[in-house]
Amino acid sequence: MSRIIILSVSLVLALGSCKGEDFYSYKVQDHLGNDVSLEKYRGKVTLVVNVASRCGYTEGTYQALKKLHDILSFGDYFSVLAFPCNQFGDQEPLNMPEIIEFVTNEFDVEFPVFNKIKVIGEHADPAFKRLTEESSVVPDWNFYKYLVDETGHVVAAWGTRTTIEDIIQAAVEKAKAATKSSSNQTEKSVTTDSEAVKDEL
């Protein structure tokens, strides 16, 4: 009897782990509050970042994220995904219309900026929680960075002080892999020289 119970529990746990099996399996909200499936990014490499508008790292990181996105998104195999969060030092006090106005006017960003979320604690957004659980890297400040491959799994994570320049090589290599795995594109669709990208930044 005990063996049957153990097997039953194991089956339940296995089935439970299948739900939201990767980052792209989740839904989030866009800046207007509309539900958006992250499945639209499957096949792409994404750099997911918890952002803030009033942080000492805001200007430099946003500028670098914009340049990285502009360079590597050519060929549609890479995207930065930004999630505003006010949990660290209350440094994202703006509402969503104000956030969008700020990042557009100050940095001319073209990558997606989603609805404000919590990234830690009991009420952490499920999609972001997936990133922290899979990477075992939990943010303790703004601008943590999670590199997600084309299958929706975290392949690297970095803290606030890690600059975009320091993660270029990993981003480029994963973007190349995503391009290479596509039957419709060739590897040449993505900038492949990490040093060249770093020079642009």
Catalytically annotated residues: 55
The per-residue DSSP string of 70-83 comes to: HHHTTTS-EEEEEE
Residue 101 and residue 98: Cα distance in Å, rounded? 5
The per-residue DSSP string of 90-146 comes to: T---S-HHHHHHHHHHHH---S-B------SSTT--HHHHHHHHHHT---SSS--EE
CB–CB of 128/119 below 8 Å? yes
